Structure formats: structure tokens, C-alpha cells
Structure 1
Amino acid sequence: MKKVLILLLLPFVLSGCKIALNGASIPAEMKTVNVLVFENNAPLVVPYLSSQFTEELKTRIRNQTSLSITQNDAHAVFSGNISGYSISPVAIQDNNAPTAGANRLSIRVNVKYTNNLNPKLSFEESFERFKDFKLQGQSLQSIEQGLIKDVTAQLTEDIFNRAFANW
């Protein structure tokens, strides 16, 4: 009889909590989020980076939460800009003339997260990630989009974790 009672009451007890397997701890009352376009203000501008980063952040939120993305008033808002984009050598080879043995693509994003339900959880921070690569006879243009996708995946994970996993 106790087991039946526990099983009947369990959904009511858990309804006040929102549990996710990805480590996120989103309050049950949070239902909506607005992700504004992250403008590209980096000195070196890649035309599609702004829209790609913004969409990657929305996709991560859609895939890892039950939050609805809205353009209206939301319980949480992400805004910011891309403030850095660079490609630099990280390993020099000296085969009579110094050349880059490896390169690094770095992206820096300034993020403002506003939690309208609990303003204490709001933050403004910069996030930066990079990926090292070798050209190996390829042009940068042929691999750049894939590198950007890898780096934005790291960035959106960091931002998501900072907002929803309280690290």
C-alpha cells in the first residue's frame, strides 16, 4: 500500500522541480527565452558568423531544454556581440623560411544574460574559445566554416552551462 501511495504522490512532488540529464537546473517557472542577434563587432569580420553563432545558441537551448524561444517578453534573455575573431600561428616550422606549422582560430563573444525571474543569476561575461589546425595543402577558405562550427559549439556550451548549470 505504501508503494502505491508513493508512486501516486511522486509526480506531484517532482512537479515543482525541473530535472534535466544534461546538468542544467532550470527552474520550473522558467518557460521562455529570447536570444537576440549577436552582432559581429570583431575587427576581422566573417559575414555569416553573426547569424551562425546566434542560431547555434538557439539550437543548443532547443535541444537541451524545454524552453520556448520567443521574440516577445521572455523569462530569460541572451544578448551580446562577437568582439574577437582571429587566426594566428601557434607553431612555427623553420624549413629555411619560417612558416606556420599550426594555426589557431579564436573567437571571443561578450554575453549579457538577463534572468527576469531571478536577477541574481544574471551576468555579463566574455567567453573565448579556439581551435588549432594545420592547412596541410588546403586553403583556409575550404576549412574555415567547419572550424567556426567547432568553436561556436564550444562557446555555446560554455554560455549554456554558465546560464543554466550554475558553474
Structure 2
Amino acid sequence: METSTIISIVAIVISLFTLGVHLLKYLHTVPKLEVSVLDAFVFQVIKGEDRYGKPYRMIIELTLVNKSEQPISIYEYQFVSKEFDRPVFYRGHHRPGNKYTISKIGSEEASIDFEQFKDLKPPINLSPYSSEYGTIIFLTIPNLYTSEKEIDGVLTVRTSRKDYSIPVKGRRSDFIKGTELMQ
């Protein structure tokens, strides 16, 4: 074997080794955010503490897990559904209320109190290999174009490194025992 052939083979082996090292490093630093939707529901506001004049709110309970070596920053949530006029967003400037009255049956009021839940309002900064649990609330839903008990849609979590889309089924809270309370 000639010297030039041996040098070429050694160069190829070294190049393949270097490529393997860089590929492994890339795979460890690629963004890996796991988004789990634990629960989701839509309700019509009878009385609330926020400044938004839209009649509906959507709450999604999430677990966010950063499975990469790099931090990930979430700057926006978006929900798209054919039952809404247009996509709705939850951004850092939104200010949800602490309590909402969602139905009234006779003298009884059903309400939701958000002080017990962690608000995952953007920006959310997830350290490497960390997780967060909490809720997000979409505040500007003007109309619902369905009388079904569930709303199908897609939640998009926008991060500094990549966007993640997750299918979501949201229950409607304005249905009790199969009958519609409000419309």
C-alpha cells in the first residue's frame, strides 16, 4: 500500500470520528421541549375581574419539560380552532383575573379561582432539564361557533428555539348534565 493511500484512509477515519463527535454534540443541544396538556376547558364569563370584554375564556393546564442541555424561553401561546373567529393568543401583556363566575343556577354561583394555580404567562424561562406545571388562559375569545360539548384545536407553544404544536380537546363548562346553560 502506498503512503498516500494510508494517509487518505487515516484522514477519512479522523473526519468520520470528528463528524460523529459533532453530531452527538448537536443531538444533545437540539431543543427538546415536552408539552403535556393535562386538562382544557372553555367557559363563558358571567362576572370576572379582568379588563377584557370578550365573553369566553379558555384555560389549559400544562406541564412543560425541557429535555435539552440548553435553556428554552417561551414567549407566546397560540390556540387555533375552527370554532373560534380567529386564532387567540396568550402573551406577556395579558392580565387574567383571579376569579371568574362561570354559571348561576338559582342563587348558586359556580366560580373558578386562579390564585391556587401557577400562571405560565410568558416569558417562561426553562433551565436545562427542568419542568414547570401550571395554567394558561386565553382571554379574548369573542364567539363560539359550535354547540358541541368539546372544542378541538391546536395549541402552539412558541419558543426562542422552535415552535411546538399539540392537539387539544377542550371541554365546555357551560354544559351541565347535557343541557346548555348559556349561549
Q: Which has the higher contact order (CA 8 A, sep 6+)?
A: 2
Structure having the higher helix fraction is 1
The structure richer in strand per residue is 2
TM-score of the aligned structures, taking structure 1 as reference length: 0.32
Q: Which has the larger radius of gyration?
A: 2
